[in-house]
Amino acid sequence: MSQKLVGVVLAAGKGSRIQPLNLYMPKPLLPVCNKPIIQYQLEDMRNIGVDDVIIVVGHLKEEIISYFGDGSSLGLHIRYVEQHETLGIAHAVAQLENEVDSPFILFLGDIFLVAKDLQAMERMFWERRAGAVLAVKREDNPEYVRRNFAVVLHGSGVVTRVIEKPRYVTTNLKGCGVYIFDLAIFDAIRRTPRTAQRDEYEITNSIQILIDDGYPVYPAEAIDWDMNITFACDLLDCNRSQLLRLRQPSLVGKNAHIHPGARIEGSVLGDGVVIEHPILVKDSLVFSDVRIDRREDLVRAVLTPDVTIDCRAGADE
């Protein structure tokens, strides 16, 4: 394939609903099986031959920049663009207009994805001379469609409408937060109004403008599994799901010191975790460098260096 995509990850948002996890760590750096969410996306891009990547940063940007640097440790060339105000996805993409001069693949940095065939998605873009290709997934639960965006197709298979967080779900085709865009998207973004719903510039409105301008937009079923990490306990569920995919009963990071009488079941422990007593840690997520000196068992909990979140009831301790 002679054409080449630029990679883009949007990682500027505060993710206020995931507090307190976002107070010292940007959402895209939150760990899934001891690897940041955004790293999975960067590796997905590298796997389809994308090596030039822009990360749009904002909230706690220094953490992301210091973690990935120039990207050489991942075999990538990474540069950073700052979004000074978080006014929606389309606004974030608008920051790139002077930075990219070729079509690009865009990931939302707070969605955990298990990709099925991004290569086919890219092929579709080039072969069909598309204005955009949207990664979609057939979703049996209408609630998951309502949380994302619905994709409506013409009988020919081309996208006719995209509906952000639809109240009435009439299709099971859900957008998954990965897009390939032609440069025409920037013209559409310039004409995208700020919404009354969330007072933001929605990328779905920009895509609809692209469609109405006559650019062909196609769906690609390129995603096996996805989770929009919105609340703290979503992160636990995401880790548990990934553990099952890895066929691991549990995962313990480097330099951990676990009491010989402690039992770890269905849990992910980060690097440098210390467990001082013979307790049970079950179906839980423990961030790196957490010292656990409690004598009570831990079940369905998220532990950071600063806070314990009880996911049985969804209440913070």
- List, for residues 238-263, the tens digit of each pLDDT value: 999 999 999 999 999 999 999 999 99
pLDDT of residue 25: 85
Residue 157 has pLDDT above 80, yes or no: yes
CA distance 31 to 305: 14
CA distance 110 to 112: 7
Residue 79 has pLDDT above 90, yes or no: yes
Total Cβ atoms within 10 A of residue 300:
20
Residue 1 has pLDDT above 60, yes or no: no
Taking Cα atoms as reference points, which of 102, 100, 94, 55 lies closest to residue 76? 55
275-278's contacts with Cβ under 8 Å and 24+ in sequence apart are none
* 49 token code pair: 């031959």
Residue 316 has pLDDT above 70, yes or no: no
Provide the residue type at 222 as one letter: A
Residue 166 has pLDDT above 80, yes or no: yes
- List, for residues 44-59, the tens digit of each pLDDT value: 999 999 999 999 998 8
Residue 82 has pLDDT above 80, yes or no: yes
Percent of the chain with pLDDT over 70: 97
- Evaluate whether 32 touches 238 at the Cβ level (below 8 Å): yes
pLDDT of residue 147: 82
Annotated domain spans of the chain: 6-228, 250-316
Q: What pTM does this model have?
A: 0.93
**pLDDT, average across residues 157-166:** 89
- List, for residues 85-96, the tens digit of each pLDDT value: 878 899 999 999
- List, for residues 23-39, the tens digit of each pLDDT value: 778 889 999 999 999 99
pLDDT grade, residue 198 (50/70/90)? low
pLDDT grade, residue 196 (50/70/90)? low
**pLDDT, average across residues 112-134:** 95
- List, for residues 280-309, the tens digit of each pLDDT value: 999 999 999 999 999 999 999 999 988 899
pLDDT of residue 85: 83
Residue 315 has pLDDT above 50, yes or no: no
- Evaluate whether 149 touches 164 at the Cβ level (below 8 Å): yes
CATH code of the domain occupying 6-228: 3.90.550.10
Residue 69 has pLDDT above 50, yes or no: yes
CA distance 233 to 316: 10
37-47 helix and 61-68 helix, angle to the nearest 10 degrees: 50
Q: How distant, in Å, are the alpha carbons of 264, 275, 278, 279, 282 from that of 260?
A: 11, 9, 7, 10, 16
**pLDDT, average across residues 217-226:** 95
- Evaluate whether 233 touches 283 at the Cβ level (below 8 Å): no
CA angle 275, 279, 285 (to 5 degrees): 65
Provide the residue type at 144 as one letter: Y
Residue 317 has pLDDT above 60, yes or no: no
Residue 119 has pLDDT above 70, yes or no: yes
Quote the mean pLDDT of the chain. Answer: 91
Q: How distant, in Å, are the alpha carbons of 39, 161, 293 from that of 197?
A: 31, 18, 46
pLDDT grade, residue 314 (50/70/90)? very low
- For the chain, give the DSSP string: ----PEEEEEE----GGGTTGGGTS-GGG-BSSSSBHHHHHHHHHHHTT--EEEEEE-TTHHHHHHHHTTSGGGT-EEEEEE-SS---HHHHHHTTTTT-SS-EEEEETTEEEEES-HHHHHHHHHHTT-SEEEEEEE-S-HHHHHHSEEEEE-TTS-EEEEEES-SS----EEEEEEEEE-TTHHHHHHTPPPPTTTSS--HHHHHHHHHHTT--EEEE--EEEEEE--SHHHHHHHHHHHHHHHT-S-EE-TT-EE-TT-EEES-EE-TT-EE-SS-EEES-EE-TT-EE---S-EESEEE-SS-EEETTTTEE-
